[in-house]
Amino acid sequence: MRGEASDSEVERQVLVGQNYIVTCEKAALEDQVATLGNRSEQLEDQVSSLVWEKDVLVSKLARCKRQLACARVDGAVARGNLLWMLEKGVVCIIDKVIESAKFANGIWDVCEACEALGFEKGKRMGGRSASAGEPKVPDPGCVARRAEKVDVALSSLAETYFVGLFCLGELDYDGFR
């Protein structure tokens, strides 16, 4: 019996040792589970924070897209208004130049000089009618005087101070609308 008791004691000692090892391993695993639980909570908090930041960025992106769309529309409207104002401004300037007495007199002088040379109602230089073909002998002195008159009229018009004609007062941009 003593042999059996000693075998039992040895087995008990082995089992106690194994139980101690299992208990230590269990405690280590429980510590790891607790650590992993804490780490899992930290990661969940980070995920929640990142999701919130993503939502904020998505909201900002949507706002920026709306602002960009509005800016594009405003730019197109401004570009259209600018083109319209430029067109109206050019028309106003041309109207003012045409209405200018200096410009009108210069054009009238050129017209009179050309008429004197025979560039009127189908006539060509030399007094020949473009339609009838009737030759007419021009006076050489008269032709020279008329040619000089055309030169003077064209030179006078060409030397007109057009900058002064274009600056005939302030343009009323509000009056365009």
At 129-170, the pLDDT tens digits run 445 555 555 566 666 666 677 677 667 666 665 555 555 455
pLDDT at 126 over 80: no
The residue out of 88, 116, 145 marking a domain boundary is 88
The amino acid at residue 50 is L
d(CA 148, CA 86): 40
Residue 82 lies in a domain: yes
Q: Half-sphere exposure (CA, 13 Å, Cβ side) for 19?
A: 6
Residue 22 lies in a domain: yes
Check: CB of residue 102 under 8 Å from CB of residue 159. no
Residue 63 lies in a domain: yes
d(CA 154, CA 99): 19
Residues 137 and 116 in one domain: yes
Tokens of residue 65, six digits: 């897209």
Number of domains in the chain: 2
Residues 74 and 29 in one domain: yes
pLDDT at 118 over 90: no
Residues 81 and 8 in one domain: yes
The residue out of 26, 55, 88 marking a domain boundary is 88
Other C-beta atoms within 10 Å of 113: how many? 20
At 74-99, the pLDDT tens digits run 888 888 877 777 777 767 767 776 67
Residue 7 lies in a domain: yes
Residue 93 lies in a domain: no
Residues 1 and 65 in one domain: yes
Residue 94 lies in a domain: no
Residues 18 and 56 in one domain: yes
The amino acid at residue 132 is A
Other C-beta atoms within 10 Å of 146: how many? 19
Q: Residue 173: which pLDDT band, with cuts at 50, 70 and 90? A: low
10-14, 39-43, 160-164: which range is least confident on average? Answer: 160-164
Task: Give me the domain span that covers residue 160.
Answer: 100-177
The residue out of 41, 67, 88 marking a domain boundary is 88
Check: CB of residue 173 under 8 Å from CB of residue 86. no
Overall pTM surpassing 0.75 (yes/no)? no
5-14, 23-32, 153-162, 164-173: which range is least confident on average? Answer: 164-173
pLDDT at 127 over 50: no
Q: Give CA 26 to chain center in angstroms.
A: 70
